[in-house]
């Protein structure tokens, strides 16, 4: 963590420490285990974890598992895996909101005894009608003035399962005329007969988030509850719960703006829908903005953390350019990824004057950006594969690759000159014949002629067959959140977001690669070995071409 880095949250904390409202810092990340974490979650993780780290404090992982309907153990496991992958170790411990259910119930009984909560029989629609509007106060529930004894009896019977789902709620008795709608007697408990992933069927009443969350923060000793901006209007309710349960320890809630990204959706509901409708290959599809998808695609934890840091911490909503995310991973991989030769759309190149059956080895750099990375030996033979678009029978102007009467450098090897071409029955190029200047073994022609083009290659007899998947943005629209009435975000799914190359030829050394190993395929981009298949499948993380810094430096 950069000790010099600061933002408005740190300024609030500095003020609290200076004035004695806190003598240490303890933060938490409270995800609901109803889906996989995404890059928006990474911002919340980074803010909470790095803040605790800066002040030498503690950081908790607490699962917000107060709603049993969509929560699953699969999501619980994936959340911790993602958190640890990012390097955000929960130094304060791992907790579950559901483990506080007994305390939540005990505190609710206390509120009833103090006349601060009551059991209400209004339906959801009726509660909404009674709630009022932003310009008109709400109406008090006809059940608001039940006696303490009746409320205690009804609440216990709710707990014992005597009533059906939705037939009653427990509501905090605050102020139906408050200008803050969240203080108009909010529901704090609802009836829900459902099996909980952790508590089983012990409970049939569940506390709502606005009630449970401040209790959990107070019990865990959280000093600063850092959350997204939509909870700003909920802060008075957060403070009401803490104050009226009479906690001695009082956490402070501070809100920040969520992150939005171009060509991306970060709504968990939308992401789940994409999975359920088969638009993507599950939560970890490399096109998804989930952390598991980004990991499978080859993104590094440091590039994600750098992205959310660069995107900034603010109080106003904004949309970050996905090009910034790509810039961060491109910069990171440029330093660490070994270079390899790969041909995605191969066409055979035969060197007619090269000795038949001969194999020689050229030393190619593993990573020019790392002077300690060394070199590797790559086999060269008389039959090679090159990219189909590195040859043109009828080339456009300024085409500096292989063409009739032209010469190119085979990367790290010889200069070759076109001789003739062989076509298949459909008129497509099936083989290119050429001759090599065998005096130019990784050197310049002795006669001083200039060679403008360099292309990559793979030996035909010393190669690995593989599938390579090239990904593009999942959505064609830049701001997917800004859609017209009557449109659906799925209307903007990119039909070309995945292109699979089935017959690729890779240099032999890639046969020894492991899942999630990262490479730069020279001239093509950065790629990662897929982690869901034992086959030789590589996913493109990002292209080599970079436009974000150019656009943002103009």
Angle, vertex CA 116, rays to CA 150 and CA 235, nearest 5: 145
Residues paired with residue 437 on neighbouring β-strands, in sequence order: 415
Alpha helices in 132-226 (DSSP H): 148-159, 209-220
The residue from 258, 348, 388, 441 that is catalytic is 258
- For the record, the structure tokens of 72 come out as 């699953």
**From the centroid of its chain, how far is CA 8?**
24
The CA dihedral of 168, 172, 176, 178, to the nearest 10 degrees, is -150
Query: Is residue 420 among the annotated active site residues?
Result: no
CA distance 219 to 231: 20
3-state secondary structure of 98: helix
Using DSSP's 3-state secondary structure scheme, residue 331 falls into helix
Cβ partners under 8 Å of residue 395, min gap 6: 401, 403, 406
172 sits in which H/E element: strand 169-172
* Residues 392 and 420: beta-carbon distance below 8 Å: no
Contact 224, 254 (CB under 8 A): yes
Q: Which of 28, 268, 295, 529 is catalytic?
A: 268
Structural element, H or E, at residue 40 = helix 39-54
Please give the Cα distance from 485 to 313 (Å, whole number). 31
19 is catalytic: no
Q: Are strands 463-471 and 537-542 parallel, antiparallel or unpaired?
A: parallel
Judge residue 3's burial from the number of C-beta atoms within 10 Å of its C-beta, 0-12 exposed, 13-18 middle, 19 or more buried.
Answer: exposed
Structure-token pair, residue 27: 């933060």
The angle subtended at Cα 443 by Cα 437 and Cα 444, nearest 5°, is 75
Question: Which token pair is 37?
Answer: 């974490």
Pairing status of strand 187-191 against strand 224-228: unpaired
- The active-site residue out of 32, 72, 80, 467 is 32
Distance, CA of 50 to CA of 37 (rounded, Å)? 18
How far does the chain reach from its first CA to its final CA, in angstroms? 30
Q: Is 9 helix (H, G, I), strand (E, B) or coil?
A: helix
Q: Is 268 a catalytic residue?
A: yes
Rounded alpha-carbon distances, angstroms, from residue 447 to 408, 410, 414, 440, 450: 15, 18, 15, 11, 9
The torsion region of residue 20 among left (phi > 0), alpha (psi -120 to 50) and beta comes to: left
Q: Is 416 helix (H, G, I), strand (E, B) or coil?
A: strand
d(CA 323, CA 327): 6
Contacts of 209 by beta carbon, 8 Å cutoff, 6+ apart = 64, 66
Report d(CA 293, CA 490) in Å as an integer: 19
Q: Which residues are catalytic?
A: 32, 258, 268
């Amino acid at each position: 963590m950069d000790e010099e880095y600061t933002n408005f949250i740190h300024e609030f904390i500095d003020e609290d420490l200076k004035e004695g409202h806190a003598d240490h810092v303890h933060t938490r990340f409270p995800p609901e285990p109803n889906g996989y974490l995404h890059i928006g979650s990474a911002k919340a993780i980074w803010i909470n974890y790095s803040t605790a780290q800066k002040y030498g404090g503690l950081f908790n992982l607490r699962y917000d598992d107060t709603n049993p309907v969509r929560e699953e153990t699969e999501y619980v496991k994936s959340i911790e895996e993602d958190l640890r992958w990012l390097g955000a170790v929960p130094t304060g411990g791992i907790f579950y909101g559901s483990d506080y259910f007994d305390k939540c119930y005990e505190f609710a009984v206390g509120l009833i005894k103090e006349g601060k909560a009551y059991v209400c029989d209004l339906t959801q629609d009726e509660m909404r009608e009674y709630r009022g509007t932003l310009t008109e106060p709400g109406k008090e529930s006809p059940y608001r003035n039940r006696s303490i004894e009746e409320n205690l009896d009804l609440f216990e019977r709710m707990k014992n399962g005597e009533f059906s789902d939705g037939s009653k709620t427990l509501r905090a008795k605050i102020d139906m005329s408050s200008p803050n709608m969240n203080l108009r007697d909010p529901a704090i408990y609802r009836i829900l007969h459902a099996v909980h992933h952790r508590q089983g069927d012990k409970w049939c009443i569940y506390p709502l988030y606005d009630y449970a969350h401040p209790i959990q923060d107070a019990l865990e000793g959280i000093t600063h509850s850092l959350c997204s901006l939509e909870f700003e209007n909920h802060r008075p309710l957060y403070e009401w719960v803490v104050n009226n349960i009479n906690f001695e320890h009082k956490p402070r809630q501070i809100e920040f703006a969520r992150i939005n990204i171009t060509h991306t959706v970060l709504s968990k509901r939308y992401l789940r829908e994409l999975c359920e409708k088969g638009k993507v290959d599950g939560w970890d599809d490399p096109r998804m903005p989930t952390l598991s998808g980004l990991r499978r695609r080859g993104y590094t934890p440091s590039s994600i953390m750098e992205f959310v840091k660069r995107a900034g911490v603010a109080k106003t909503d904004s949309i970050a350019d996905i090009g910034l995310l790509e810039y961060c991973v491109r910069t990171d991989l440029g330093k660490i990824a070994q270079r390899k030769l790969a041909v995605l759309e191969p066409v055979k190149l035969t060197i007619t004057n090269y000795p038949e059956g001969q194999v020689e080895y050229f030393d190619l750099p593993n990573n020019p950006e790392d002077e300690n990375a060394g070199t590797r030996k790559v086999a060269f033979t008389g039959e090679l594969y090159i990219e189909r678009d590195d040859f043109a029978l009828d080339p456009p102007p300024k085409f500096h690759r292989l063409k009739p009467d032209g010469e190119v450098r085979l990367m790290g090897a010889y200069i070759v000159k076109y001789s003739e071409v062989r076509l298949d029955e459909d008129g497509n190029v099936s083989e290119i014949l050429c001759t090599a200047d065998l005096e130019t073994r990784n050197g310049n022609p002795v006669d001083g002629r200039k060679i403008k083009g360099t292309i990559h290659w793979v030996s035909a007899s010393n190669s690995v067959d593989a599938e390579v998947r090239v990904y593009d943005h999942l959505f064609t629209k830049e701001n997917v959140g800004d859609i017209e009435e009557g449109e659906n975000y799925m209307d903007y799914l990119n039909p070309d977001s995945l292109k699979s190359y089935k017959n690729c030829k890779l240099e032999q050394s890639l046969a020894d690669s492991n899942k999630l190993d990262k490479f730069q395929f020279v001239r093509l981009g950065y790629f990662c070995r897929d982690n869901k298949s034992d086959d030789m499948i590589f996913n493109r993380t990002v292209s080599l071409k970079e436009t974000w810094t150019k656009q943002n430096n103009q």
